[in-house]
């Protein structure tokens, strides 16, 4: 915690406190008109396509490859995974590297849409927790469904409740997080759970 606080304190001195806007390629400007009342921004469309590809690749990795099965086994029961010959330490390093890579990709994807500044992490972290609580650990389709639910709730609040700003969106994320943990702790789609918890 102390290291995290020190890094947070050092961020303004390194990158400043001013918001930075990343301009996308000029070819991605504009939008496509689908109907008279519906347009699709080109940048956001390609962001959605890339995110879908990343999610699809991650799903195939976890469900169809030897590495993915090792990751799921280590997540469920580390001792049993070691007994069957899985190098849990190596799996943890690979998972950490995957997380860093995906996080970097997400940052690059959202930077043309959202202003980048040092203190934008906590609200996004809360959203990630809410999505994970709805999804269930280890469920890719659950994560997609949870993100859609949260996005629709926030968009609905912004459209139908005047002057909500971003504060109510954060409150909505917190309410969804608490409701998911209380009402369905295993997530909307289930997910990977420790073997001890299943036995209990």
Domain boundaries, the chain: 29-116, 117-200
Comparing 9-23, 27-41, 130-144, the range with the smallest average pLDDT is: 9-23
61: Cβ–Cβ under 8 A, 6 or more apart, which residues?
A: 67, 68
Burial class from Cβ neighbours inside 10 Å (0-12, 13-18, 19+) for residue 152 reads: exposed
Q: Count the Cβ atoms, other than its own, within 10 Å of residue 102.
A: 13
Residue 164: predicted pLDDT: 59
| 95-127 pLDDT, tens digit each | 999 999 998 888 888 888 877 777 777 777 888
For residues 185-194, average pLDDT: 63
Q: Greater confidence, 89 or 187?
A: 89
Quick check: 112 and 22 in contact, CB under 8 A? Answer: yes
H or E element in which residue 95 lies? helix 88-110
Q: Say whether pLDDT at 82 is over 90.
A: yes
Taking each helix axis from N to C terminus, what angle separates 66-76 and 42-64, rounded to the nearest 10 degrees?
Answer: 80
| Tokens coding 33 | 């008109």
CA–CA separation, 133 and 50 (whole Å):
24
pTM recorded for the entire structure: 0.71
């Amino acid at each position: 915690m102390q290291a995290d606080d020190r890094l947070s304190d050092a961020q303004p001195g390194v990158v400043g406190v001013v918001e930075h806007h990343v301009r996308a390629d000029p070819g991605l400007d504009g939008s496509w008109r689908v109907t008279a009342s519906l347009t699709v921004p080109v940048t956001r469309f390609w962001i959605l396509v890339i995110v879908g590809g990343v999610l699809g690749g991650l799903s195939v990795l976890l469900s169809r490859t030897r590495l993915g099965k090792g990751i799921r086994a280590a997540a469920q029961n580390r001792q049993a995974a070691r007994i069957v010959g899985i190098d849990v330490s190596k799996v943890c390093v690979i998972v950490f590297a995957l997380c860093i890579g995906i996080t970097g990709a997400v940052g690059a994807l959202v930077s043309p849409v959202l202003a980048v500044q040092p203190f934008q992490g906590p609200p996004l972290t809360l959203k990630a927790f809410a999505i994970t609580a709805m999804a269930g650990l280890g469920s890719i389709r659950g994560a997609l469904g949870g993100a859609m639910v949260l996005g629709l709730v926030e968009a609905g609040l912004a459209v139908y409740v005047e002057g909500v700003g971003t504060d109510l969106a954060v409150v909505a994320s917190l309410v969804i997080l608490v409701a998911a943990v209380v009402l369905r702790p295993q997530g909307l789609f289930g997910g990977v759970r420790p073997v001890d918890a299943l036995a209990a």
